[in-house]
A and B are shown apart, each in its own frame.
Chain A
Amino acid sequence: MKIYSVSLGSRIRKGLTVKRQKDWLRYVSFDRKSNNLYLSAFYPEIIYTTASVPPVEDVETLEFLIKTRISGLLEEGKEYSILYFKKEEISETEVLYEVYAVPEELYYSSISDTNSTPENTGLFTVDVFALIPVSEKVSSDVVFHFYTDEEKILVTVSKEKTPLYTRAVQIPESIGEENLTNFYYENFNLTYMFAYQNKRLDISSIVISGKASGDGEFLSLVENLSGLKPVIPEAKDYIGGLSQEDFMEFLLPVGTALLDENFDLTPLRYRKSRAVSKISRRFAAILGIITAAALFGTWSAYSKMKELENKIQHLTTRISAKEKRLLSDIPPDRARYYTSVLELKKQTYDISPLTVFKKIYPLMEIIEENQIKIYSDRKSQRIEITGENRFDSLSRMVAFQEELNNRLKQLSQFKITRKMNIDENNYTVKTYLVLERKLN
């Protein structure tokens, strides 16, 4: 996600374009290269308080209840944006929140100062919160973060993503460079003691960033006071492609770009419309992918359709030409005539006595036939053979009968009926055979 992150001070403005990859950034440009604006404004008058409200899930109702509870602190007639962090559950019916409120006019003036619009503003917050993502990487315990630049001092005490105490101070123009160290120290001392003693925050790390991180004298004073060695955050832990010097210079826009929506002080109605827009855009993107896939499928189906149409056209032409050629070659009535002649010829051959003789030749070889009758029609054929064989011995007569049986077995295509009259005294066998077969 590409972000143009801007820190808006009372006199100075610092911005850079980065690419966010989870909790790490990649530097893109110091120019505005993205329409997605993250904005943090300097606002020392931020209202900080606590409020206990009944537990509710709905964000809108919860914000309304909190605003009602803190209404005494809010200026009448002004709309406020709030941030709230759950501190503890007092009872089953009451939850205690730490609440930060800024007037909505700060939001409007900030986006107007940056020539932006609510649509282009992805996140709006106050700059003290921009220090939290930086502190978060230093320690998971309570971190006291002290930041300075040319015009202000920001202090944020936080534990992981939860702010515990914040302070923003405008550096008077009357403070010269030579007095800066003292001014820093005074403010550090005051805030640190307040957080440590009054708020009883168990500070485990001190982070010094911005202009003050280069002030050796101040750093040693801080160490002497707190007994903790101040940590100066390193650019490589937060952003790639940016020098340490530039990182210190642009720490606020870097930290702002690393914030999540829990620190968004954009008025609720814009947050809501942004959420709907986000869902709409997401759905539109998903539909876009589906449409693209379907479009590709449609295009491929269309190409296939054209291909099929061409194939069908070619095939139709080819078939029609072939049909024409065949019809002109042998017209249907002539084809029928030839077929009829050839069928008759085939039938003639199938039932011909010559064909029958070939089939029954094995019988003719051994039977002394007196009579052969062949009757045929289109469907069947009947063959009657009458014969008489004489022998000079009984053994030859028996051998004949066996041989006849064998040869009849080989004529399996016929249904065979036989009658045999055997005269054993005269060695004579009279044979009457009927062979029947079906014709195709």
Chain B
Amino acid sequence: MSLTRDYLLYILAVLTAIAVITAYTTINHINKNLNNNLITLERKEKKLKLLELQYRNLKETVEKLGIKVLTSKEAIESVLSAADRLVKMYDGRIIRPLEKEDNLYSITVGFDYYPDSAEDLYRFISRLESSVSPIFTVERFELLQEEYGTVTHLEVKISQPFTEGK
């Protein structure tokens, strides 16, 4: 009977339409999620590119400055021997004892320095601050003009980071 055949055709068309529209909606939903994933990955790649650039710059700086990697033991040695040198050479004294904060050892030494001239003072501080292992940071500086000449008093923090693995 034609009626049944046409009606069946209609039902089939309805079912097909529902199936296709469902498939379309589902795939579109998946695509939305995939798109979000893609955006996240693209952002990650951008960050990685930036990180890559930063790593390259870091590497160049490290090579330029000749930064060496020290272990905890080497760091203590480095800090203490530097402090020892300053104490001995400039009759200094320990202001703050050896401290360990995260992966960093530090000690603060105070001493007086009598520069011959402004250039001498400049050279002295420059030399001190150019060291990368350990690092000398002048935290306190006093300059007094006395009758017998210029006196400076410095408190220098000697720091050395370290790494557990090498």
Contact = CB atoms under 8 A, between A and B. Distances in A.
Contact of A291 (B17, B126, B141, B161): B17
A371 B142 contact: yes
B135 A344 contact: yes
Contacts of A347: 137
A294 B2 contact: no
Nearest to B104: A340
Q: Is the interface of B mostly helix, strand, loop or mixed?
A: helix
A119 B143 CA distance: 115
A73 interface: no
A434 interface: no
Contacts of B95: none
A372 B142 contact: yes
B45 A301 contact: no
B10 A337 contact: no
Contacts of A334: 69, 163
A68 interface: no
Contact of B125 (A276, A290, A312, A354): A354
Q: Which of A308, A316, A339 has the most CB of B within 10 A?
A: A308
Contact of A351 (B1, B51, B139): B139
A369 interface: yes
Contact of B140 (A302, A322, A342, A375): A375
Contact of B48 (A294, A323, A333): A323
Contacts of A344: 135, 137, 159, 161
A190 interface: no
A274 interface: yes
A14 interface: no
Interface in B28-55: 28, 30-31, 34-35, 37-38, 41-42, 44-45, 48, 51-52, 55
A182 interface: no
B27 A276 contact: no
B67 to A, nearest CB: 5
Nearest to A273: B3
Interface string B64-89: 01010100000000000000000000
Contacts of B1: 119, 273
B114 interface: no
A187 B142 CA distance: 143
Interface stretch (A80-88, A236-244, A277-285, A400-408): A277-285
Contact of B7 (A276, A287, A322): A276
B6 interface: yes
B137 A333 contact: no
A281 B55 contact: no
Q: How large is the interface on B (under 10, 10 to 19, 20 to 34, 35 or more residues)?
A: 35 or more
A329 to B, nearest CB: 6
A313 to B, nearest CB: 10
A295 B19 CA distance: 10
Contacts of A318: 45
Contacts of A411: none
B37 A312 contact: yes
Given A334-B163, A341-B132, A348-B137, A311 B38 contact: yes
A139 interface: no
B142 A319 contact: no
B44 to A, nearest CB: 6
A118 interface: yes
Nearest to B139: A376
Contacts of A69: none
A319 B23 contact: no
A71 to B, nearest CB: 29
A214 interface: no
A298 interface: yes
Contacts of B31: 301, 304-305, 308
A349 interface: yes
Contact of A294 (B17, B42, B162): B17
A284 B13 contact: yes
Given A312-B37, A329-B55, A345 B135 contact: yes
Interface in A314-360: 315-316, 318-319, 322-323, 326, 329-331, 333-342, 344-345, 347-349, 351-354, 356
A427 B40 CA distance: 72
B9 to A, nearest CB: 5
B129 interface: yes
A55 interface: no
Interface of B: 1-3, 5-7, 9-10, 12-14, 16-17, 20-21, 23-24, 27-28, 30-31, 34-35, 37-38, 41-42, 44-45, 48, 51-52, 55, 58-59, 61-62, 65, 67, 69, 103-104, 122, 125-126, 129, 132, 135-145, 159, 161-165
Given A280-B9, A305-B30, 10 more contacts: A287-B17, A291-B16, A301-B27, A301-B28, A309-B34, A337-B163, A341-B132, A352-B138, A353-B125, A374-B141
Q: Which 4 A-B pairs have the closest CB atoms?
A: A119-B2, A287-B13, A277-B6, A280-B6
24 contacts: A273-B3, A280-B6, A280-B9, A284-B9, A284-B10, A301-B27, A301-B31, A305-B31, A318-B45, A319-B48, A322-B52, A326-B48, A330-B59, A333-B165, A338-B62, A339-B58, A340-B104, A340-B161, A341-B161, A348-B136, A353-B125, A353-B141, A354-B129, A372-B142
Interface of A: 118-119, 273-274, 276-277, 280-281, 283-284, 287-288, 290-291, 294-295, 297-298, 301-302, 304-305, 308-309, 311-312, 315-316, 318-319, 322-323, 326, 329-331, 333-342, 344-345, 347-349, 351-354, 356, 369-377
